[in-house]
């Protein structure tokens, strides 16, 4: 079914248009699809542009020098133009009845009905039916300036409704991440979910535990780093899905701990603001903040058991990350700075050598983190405000700020007679 509906070509990435033209020039069909079409029709700026074609991955790969095939579960081609990536997918088709034993391994299904592999190719119309939501299944052909709408996506776009294509339970079993995508799109687009979109959440959310941790890591970034983090978080909470992503933090939030609640909401509000201002947001800060309530609680528990403060904080950080890795991966390039931000909190609350601390690579992030903790009502001895003043102060003002501090000793212990090494972090553990 085709519908005349103009999309201003100036709003489409010239690189996406180039890819489509090239494919069509070689005799293939090619369309703009997914978020690009949806967002342009809504008058929003698309995050990226996806192209759908009947060319096979190898054929696409051969047409574009700057391209690579990625994914095993779902093979797609990335065509690279500097920093812009155009995702090109081959039309997907229906799966044969007995997908579990496909001899060619183009398709595979787990016992719960999850598609472990989805590389059966098909026609344009079949491709539309394999997409997740009707508003994501609109195809636009720039050469004929037409929209193809096989799933009544235009109607749902008009009514601002998110509707799954096909039978919801089956579609969630095939890919439980679609539940997270439902929440993400409804929050980001401010659409309401059609009732059968949310109905299965309760029963099927535990299937999220079967998703590989690396994919969950990526999904969490999409949930919280695309400008609607706070709305998305509230929707996740409303649908009781947040606990499937961050169980340790959720356990604390469930006990109506207002400080943790305010902290996470303040952080997400701030993240949205930064995205809007085109300021960088880092996964380390995001994950570090969401896990902070758990780190704080564990630290307190260890202190109660008599662990000295420095190792208590370190161990709490390590244990929290270790536990979270069962649910989402956290690449080391993010978990290391995360721990640095956490460990710097105590030093910022009790600064020795403030001048040098300003030079630490993680100072800025740790200071922002401290401000958020203060905003959420955590007791930091008002040191966020102190550091704000300190950074703006001249030398003399800095001296007076430092002399006004009431520093506490880092550890309760007997005075040492002789100083052996300047840093004895681990030996502090000794009784």
Q: Which is nearer to ligand ATP, 114 or 313 (CB)?
A: 114
Subset of 130-149 contacting ligand ATP (CB under 6 A): 131-132, 136-137
- Considering the rule CB under 5 A, would residue 218 count as an interface residue with Mg ion? no
Residue 132 annotated to the active site = yes
Binding residue count for ligand ATP, defined by CB under 6 A: 12
Residue 392 annotated to the active site = no
Beta-bridge mates of residue 141: 146
Do the beta carbons of residue 386 and residue 401 sit within 8 Å? yes
- Considering the rule CB under 6 A, would residue 349 count as an interface residue with ligand ATP? no
- Considering the rule CB under 5 A, would residue 48 count as an interface residue with Mg ion? yes
Please choose which of ligand ATP, Mg ion, none residue 178 contacts, taking the beta carbon within 5 to 8 angstroms, the exact cut-off set by kind: ligand ATP
273 Cβ partners below 8 Å, 6+ apart?
Answer: none
DSSP classification of residue 377: T
* Coil, helix or strand at residue 166: coil
Q: Please, what sign has the CA dihedral across residues 99, 103, 104, 108? A: positive
Residue spans of beta strands (DSSP E) within 124-194: 138-141, 146-149, 161-162, 192-193
- Considering the rule CB under 5 A, would residue 351 count as an interface residue with Mg ion? no
Residue 111 annotated to the active site = no
- Considering the rule CB under 6 A, would residue 35 count as an interface residue with ligand ATP? yes
Residue among 132, 149, 175, 272 flagged as catalytic: 132
373's tokens? 């903790």
Do the beta carbons of residue 165 and residue 132 sit within 8 Å? yes
Among 1, 2, 21, 47, binds ligand ATP (CB under 6 A): 47
Q: Which is nearer to Mg ion, 163 or 188 (CB)?
A: 188
Beta-bridge mates of residue 81: 84
Q: Which is nearer to ligand ATP, 90 or 249 (CB)?
A: 90
Do the beta carbons of residue 343 and residue 314 sit within 8 Å? yes
Burial 83-107 (b: 16+ CB within 10 A, else e): eebbbbbbbbbebeeebeebeeebb
Residue among 39, 50, 127, 175 flagged as catalytic: 50
| Contact string (CB under 6 A) for ligand ATP, positions 165-194, x = contact | ----------x-xx----------------
C-alpha R_g of the chain: 26
Please choose which of Mg ion, ligand ATP, none residue 136 contacts, taking the beta carbon within 5 to 8 angstroms, the exact cut-off set by kind: ligand ATP
- Considering the rule CB under 6 A, would residue 48 count as an interface residue with ligand ATP? yes
- Considering the rule CB under 6 A, would residue 109 count as an interface residue with ligand ATP? no
Sheet holding 2-4, edge to edge: 2-4, 146-149, 138-141, 30-33, 50-53, 84-90, 76-81, 67-70
Per CB under 5 A, which region of 42-50, 61-69, 269-277, 342-350 contacts Mg ion? 42-50
Please choose which of ligand ATP, Mg ion, none residue 132 contacts, taking the beta carbon within 5 to 8 angstroms, the exact cut-off set by kind: ligand ATP
Please choose which of ligand ATP, Mg ion, none residue 127 contacts, taking the beta carbon within 5 to 8 angstroms, the exact cut-off set by kind: none
Q: CA nearest 292: which of 253, 237, 256? A: 253
Positions touching Mg ion (CB under 5 A) are 34-35, 48, 50
Residues within the interface to ligand ATP (CB under 6 A) = 34-35, 47-48, 50, 131-132, 136-137, 175, 177-178
* Residues catalogued as catalytic: 48, 50, 132
């Amino acid at each position: 079914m085709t519908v005349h509906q103009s999309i201003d070509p100036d709003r489409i990435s010239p690189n996406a248009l180039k890819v489509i033209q090239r494919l069509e020039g070689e005799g293939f069909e090619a369309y703009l699809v997914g978020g690009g079409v949806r967002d342009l029709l809504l008058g929003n700026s698309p995050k990226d542009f996806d192209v759908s074609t009947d060319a096979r991955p190898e054929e696409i790969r051969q047409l574009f020098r700057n391209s690579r095939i990625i994914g095993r579960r779902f093979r797609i081609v990335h065509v690279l133009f500097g920093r812009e990536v155009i995702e090109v997918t081959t039309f997907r088709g229906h799966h044969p009845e007995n997908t579990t034993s496909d001899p060619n391994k183009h398709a595979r299904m787990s016992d719960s009905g999850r598609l472990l592999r989805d590389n059966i190719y098909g026609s344009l119309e079949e491709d539309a039916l394999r997409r997740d939501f009707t508003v994501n299944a609109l195809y636009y052909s720039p050469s004929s300036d037409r929209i193809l709408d096989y799933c009544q996506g235009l109607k749902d776009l008009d009514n601002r409704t998110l509707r799954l294509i096909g039978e919801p339970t089956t579609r969630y079993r095939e890919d439980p991440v679609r539940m997270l995508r439902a929440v993400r799109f409804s929050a980001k687009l401010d659409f309401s979910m059609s009732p059968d979109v949310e109905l299965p959440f309760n029963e099927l959310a535990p299937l999220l535990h079967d998703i590989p941790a690396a994919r969950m890591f990526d999904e969490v970034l999409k949930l919280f780093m695309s400008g609607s983090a706070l709305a998305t978080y509230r929707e996740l909470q409303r649908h009781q899905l947040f606990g499937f992503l961050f169980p340790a933090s959720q356990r604390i939030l469930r006990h109506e701990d207002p400080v943790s609640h305010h902290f996470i909401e303040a952080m997400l509000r701030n993240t949205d603001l930064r995205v809007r201002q085109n300021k960088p947001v880092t996964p380390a800060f995001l994950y570090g903040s969401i896990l902070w309530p758990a780190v704080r609680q564990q630290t307190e528990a260890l202190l109660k058991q008599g662990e000295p403060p420095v190792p208590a904080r370190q161990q709490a950080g390590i244990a929290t990350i270790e536990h979270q890795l069962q649910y989402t991966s956290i690449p080391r390039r993010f978990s290391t700075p995360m721990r640095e931000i956490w460990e710097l909190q105590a030093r910022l609350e009790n600064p020795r050598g403030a001048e040098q601390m300003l030079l630490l690579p993680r100072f800025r992030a740790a200071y922002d983190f401290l401000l958020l903790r203060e905003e959420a009502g955590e007791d930091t001895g008002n040191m966020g405000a102190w550091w704000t003043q300190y950074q703006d102060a001249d030398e003399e003002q800095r001296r007076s700020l430092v002399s006004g501090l009431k520093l506490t000793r880092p550890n309760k212990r007997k005075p040492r007679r002789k100083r052996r090494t300047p840093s004895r972090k681990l030996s502090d553990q000794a009784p």
